[in-house]
Amino acid sequence: GQNIDQPTEMTATEGAIVQINCTYQTSGFNGLFWYQQHAGEAPTFLSYNVLDGLEEKGRFSSFLSRSKGYSYLLLKELQMKDSASYLCAVRDGDYKLSFGAGTTVTVRA
């Protein structure tokens, strides 16, 4: 089966940096995705890693180490609107995704 672990909750202050870790053990690996999900809304795509290293996209960066089965999402210059759940998902075959339970990030003023 697939096992994708991420912390349940994190709290940070506006303007700060938060790092959300994700570890995975899957039967295959064909890319790792991060999604943002605000309460009661659909997940929206943030980033994609298939090779080792860091992908930067504005205030958000994502890192992948395939040998360690590890990824993190880095959120910089936190804003109140960043309060949401962040889902780590692994594509273990051609196109299907397996999701982690999500990390709820609360940004405080």
Partner 1 sequence: DAMVIQNPRYQVTQFGKPVTLSCSQTLNHNVMYWYQQKSSQAPKLLFHYYDKDFNNEADTPDNFQSRRPNTSFCFLDIRSPGLGDAAMYLCATSIYTGTGWETQYFGPGTRLLVL
**Interacting residues with partner 1 (CB under 8 A):** 4, 8, 30, 33, 35, 40-45, 48, 87, 91, 94-102, 104
Look at residues 63, 60, 59 and name the one whose alpha carbon lies nearest to residue 71: 63
- By 3-state DSSP, what share of the chain in percent is helix, strand and coil, each rounded to 5? 5, 55, 40
Q: Radius of gyration of the chain from Cα atoms?
A: 13
Give residue 59's Cα distance to chain centre. Answer: 14
Closer residue to partner 1, CB minimum distance, 8 or 67: 8
Q: Which is nearer to partner 1, 70 or 104 (CB)?
A: 104
We find the least distance from the C-beta atom of residue 90 to partner 1, in angstroms, to be 11
In angstroms, what is the minimal distance from the CB of 73 to partner 1?
A: 15
CB of 41 to partner 1, least distance (A): 6
Closest to partner 1 by CB, 18 vs 97, is: 97
